[in-house]
Chain A
Amino acid sequence: MKTKKFNYRIVDVALLIALFALVFLADQFLPTYDIKFKVLQKGAVFALVAVSMNLLNGFTGLFSLGQAGFMLLGAYTYAIFTIPNEARLSVYKYYTMTNSAGEEIGGLVQLVLPMGIAIVLAGLVAAVFAYFIGLPVLRLKSDYLAIASLGFAEILRAICQWKGLGTLTNGSNQLRMYPYFNSIMPYFLIAGLCIAIIALLIKSTYGRAFKAIRDDEVAAEAMGINLAKHKMISFVISSFFAGIGGALFAMYQNTIQAKPFTTTLTYEILLIVVIGGIGSLSGSVIASFLYIACSEWWLRFLDTEGVIPGLSRNGFRLVVFSAAIMVIVLFFRRGLMGDKEFSTERIVNGVKSIFSGKKKKTKEVE
């Protein structure tokens, strides 16, 4: 594009800056108990996790259902290494130990890391586990891979609840009193940074190799792509960011327990990816905010009795919501964005072609 064509890239960047400015304003004016505050925080967390899953499912074609397990690892790592020492005794009250000086201490870990390092460590722990899980699992094909990775997530959950590791994980009791951000901006910054790294990765030669594997494994191998190596890279990186997402999730929740990290959580993330479009990062981001906003906020009114006589009561929101998801899965299989990315250029061109009456394919641009 060396001609005088208007550079839409600038508009994209401006939109992104405007978004962060809005988040900044939201931080200033929204009270922390506001539902919008919670929606924005949770949306950012899920956007990161959904993008990390999309890297695996959408760009590398590995249908893995282990995301909840890696989030669990990240969340636990973050919580274990950031609970202040003076709070440990009350958190680990069922698993106290005595140290060499004969004092009673809570839990095995007495090391307190700064938040930033703990977040990175959360990702690293998830990545290391992913490497060892990947060794057997990545040799499997499509649905076997799905069920085996799902199985590993369940095993991790059971291990975290095991009494034998109680001094480390606090058994099935919750971990709490670790530091968290009480504003929206940090979630957006961390998630945004991670998503940007994933986007750069996908544009790199590695990303092209991933796509080649997704499109045709045999052909990719014939072109000299090392299948095992690239699948492993994708799996480990995806898990790294899922681990960071888990740490953010722990912060968002304020307390953490192994219980919510079930397969249902993985299914929810998968559905976000599907709604956004498998193979579109911006789709995943948009879908996760839509998903969280719908399930937590916009459809809330359906749960109040009497809005739709005879039907609306507690839980009706989720029925409507899951029915809507089924419609998307069945009839709009490409999701919001298909495999295209968000750009103002495509929107403008789409709108132009509508006005000029040309029957161009603009389905993806909504």
Chain B
Amino acid sequence: MNLTIDHILAGISAGGQYALIAIGYTMVYGILRLINFAHGDVFMASGLIIVYLTTAMPLQYAIPVVIIATVFIGFLIERAAYKPLRSAPRMSVMISAIGVSYLIQNLALYITGGLPQTYPAIPWISDSVELFGAVTKRVTVVTPVLTLVLVVALVVLIRYTKIGMAMRAVSKDFETSQLMGIKINKVISTTFIIGSFLAAIGSLLYFSSYQSVTPTSGAMPGLKAFVAAVFGGIGSIPGAVVGAFVIGICENIIKSSTEFSIFSDAFTFALLIIVLCVRPTGIFGEKTTDKV
């Protein structure tokens, strides 16, 4: 064990990135009761798009374009793969999500030819900085700050705007809110748009610190983010963020040991199983926090 400040910093940074993905899971689950298995792949796709965009245009244009593209992908997946199954059993929708995930991964494999793509260095956030005696990229510092800002903005949006109120209503009771005149499809689309937007930001930060994108590089962060969402109490945004930071930090501490580093992924799932057995509603139980 050579636990240093490096690992803690990397853990906080990873936690922030997982948090941004986890929010997408938790919001979709809150409304549709669906584990959106394709969310991790949307995150990966966002990373790939920017690799190809930067060959065609300067970075300051590429970043907004990639965010819009990711949001569009998220929106499209919901419309094409989940909306037709709205009245189907939940298992069918989950299978559809797995199918979409499979499709995106194969599409990415086809486009990249299976080669890992080098992520472009984003000037300011890829610079090295020194912090508590450890040299790290600026992205490590930027991630938690940006995550917290976005989460606060999201919570404000959910609590004080009309669409936020609609989201809360839909997550409480799907049918009744429909009877009350809430346009369900609009609310669901908005949820997917917000989730994909945050996944795009998360992907910018995540791949800036890992530097290469492969077709399967979205699957594991995706599953971990989902575990984070369950850990924090699925449906609860603050819960997802706390869960993501716990997982990010623990995982990097495990990675610091050479003997057990292979268990860094397995740890996440062990944590999930313990949480599900001991406290299935997560650390922030459903009723105490606002659920979206």
Tell me if B35 and A143 are in contact (CB < 8 A).
Answer: yes
Tell me if B276 and A144 are in contact (CB < 8 A).
Answer: yes
- Min CB distance B107 to A, Å, is 5
- Min CB distance A272 to B, Å, is 12
**Does B173 make an interface contact (CB < 8 A)?**
no
Tell me if B272 and A274 are in contact (CB < 8 A).
Answer: no
8 Å CB contact of B90 from A139, A142, A264, A267: A142
Tell me if B99 and A271 are in contact (CB < 8 A).
Answer: yes
Q: How far is the CA of A21 from the CA of B143 in the complex (A)?
A: 64
Chain B residues in 8 Å Cβ range of A333: 85, 88, 92
Q: Among A91-99, A147-155, A192-200, A239-247, which stretch is in contact with chain B? A: A147-155
Tell me if B276 and A318 are in contact (CB < 8 A).
Answer: no
Q: Which of B99, B101, B107, B263 has the most CB of A within 10 A?
A: B99
Tell me if B106 and A318 are in contact (CB < 8 A).
Answer: yes
Tell me if A322 and B259 are in contact (CB < 8 A).
Answer: no
Chain A residues in 8 Å Cβ range of B280: 140, 144
- Min CB distance A316 to B, Å, is 6
Closest B residue by C-beta to A139: B277
Q: Among B56-64, B108-116, B206-214, which stretch is in contact with chain A? A: B108-116
Q: How far is the CA of A276 from the CA of B292 in the complex (A)?
A: 36
**Does B100 make an interface contact (CB < 8 A)?**
yes
Closest B residue by C-beta to A333: B92
Chain A residues in 8 Å Cβ range of B103: 319, 322-323, 325-326
Tell me if A155 and B270 are in contact (CB < 8 A).
Answer: yes
Query: In the complex, which range does the number of interface residues on chain A fall in?
Result: 35 or more
Q: How far is the CA of A150 from the CA of B273 in the complex (A)?
A: 10
- Min CB distance A65 to B, Å, is 9
Chain A residues in 8 Å Cβ range of B92: 329, 333
**Does B1 make an interface contact (CB < 8 A)?**
no
**Does B91 make an interface contact (CB < 8 A)?**
yes
Tell me if A159 and B266 are in contact (CB < 8 A).
Answer: yes
- Min CB distance A125 to B, Å, is 19
Q: Which of A151, A159, A318 has the most CB of B within 10 A?
A: A151
Given contacts A147-B226, A148-B273, A315-B106, A263 and B219 within 8 Å (CB-CB): yes
Tell me if B35 and A147 are in contact (CB < 8 A).
Answer: yes
Q: Among A33-41, A161-169, A281-289, A344-352, which stretch is in contact with chain B? A: A161-169
Query: In the complex, which range does the number of interface residues on chain B fall in?
Result: 35 or more
Near B by CB (< 8 A), chain A positions 282-329 give 313-316, 318-319, 321-323, 325-326, 329
Chain A residues in 8 Å Cβ range of B110: 313-316, 318-319
Q: Which of A147, A323, A331 has the most CB of B within 10 A?
A: A147
**Does B49 make an interface contact (CB < 8 A)?**
no
**Does B5 make an interface contact (CB < 8 A)?**
no
- Min CB distance B229 to A, Å, is 10
- Min CB distance B102 to A, Å, is 5
Chain B residues in 8 Å Cβ range of A271: 95, 98-99, 102
Tell me if A158 and B265 are in contact (CB < 8 A).
Answer: yes
Chain A residues in 8 Å Cβ range of B100: 326
**Does A78 make an interface contact (CB < 8 A)?**
no
Near B by CB (< 8 A), chain A positions 129-153 give 136-137, 139-140, 142-144, 146-148, 150-152
Closest A-B pairs by Cβ, 8 of them: A151-B269, A158-B266, A315-B110, A318-B106, A322-B103, A155-B266, A329-B99, A322-B106
Residue contacts A-B, CB under 8 angstroms, 15 given: A140-B280, A143-B33, A147-B227, A148-B272, A151-B227, A151-B268, A151-B273, A161-B262, A267-B101, A270-B98, A313-B113, A323-B103, A329-B95, A330-B80, A333-B88
19 other A-B residue contacts (CB within 8 Å) besides A143-B35, A313-B110: A63-B94, A137-B273, A140-B280, A142-B91, A143-B34, A143-B90, A144-B230, A147-B227, A147-B272, A151-B227, A151-B272, A151-B273, A172-B262, A263-B219, A313-B113, A315-B110, A322-B106, A325-B103, A330-B85
